[in-house]
Amino acid sequence: MADSFGHRPRGPARMLKATQWSLQGLQAAWLHESSFRLEVVLFVILAPLGAWLGADGVERALLVGSLLLVLCVELLNSAIETVIERYGPEHHVLAGRAKDMGSAAVLLVMFNVLLCWALILLPRLF
């Protein structure tokens, strides 16, 4: 629910409304996206582990933040897919390309999780 050139009032009431829209988005993702649910479950398991295994604040931020980034990109990917589905289920090459690119973005941030966790934790094992 974007502003149109700042004509809407700013302040606590507007921030509360924006928070409500964000929570609705999280609820919609939870209800309609199985990938998001799986990634949330993994976040709930791995985030405390990352916070515990991180030696300092930077390592903790990288371990937990990389997981949080997966959720963010999954939300964006789901938004792209939802908009495409809004226009109909028939196949269109550009719609397929957009969905594939969104999926690729999720894959890349998952590789980022593996890279961060490996670079931080593997040297401790060897």
Instruction: Report the topology of domain 33-125.
Output: Helix Hairpins (1.10.287)
Q: 47 near 67, Cβ under 8 Å?
A: yes
Any idea where the domains of the chain sit in the sequence? 1-32, 33-125
Supply the angle between the helices 34-53 and 93-125 in degrees, to the nearest 10: 20
| Binding site listing | 14, 33, 60, 74, 81, 90-92, 99-100, 103
Catalytic residues: 74
Q: Print pLDDT tens along the chain (126 aa).
A: 555 555 666 788 899 999 999 999 999 999 999 999 999 999 999 999 999 999 999 999 999 999 999 999 999 999 999 999 998 888 899 999 999 999 999 999 999 999 999 999 999 988
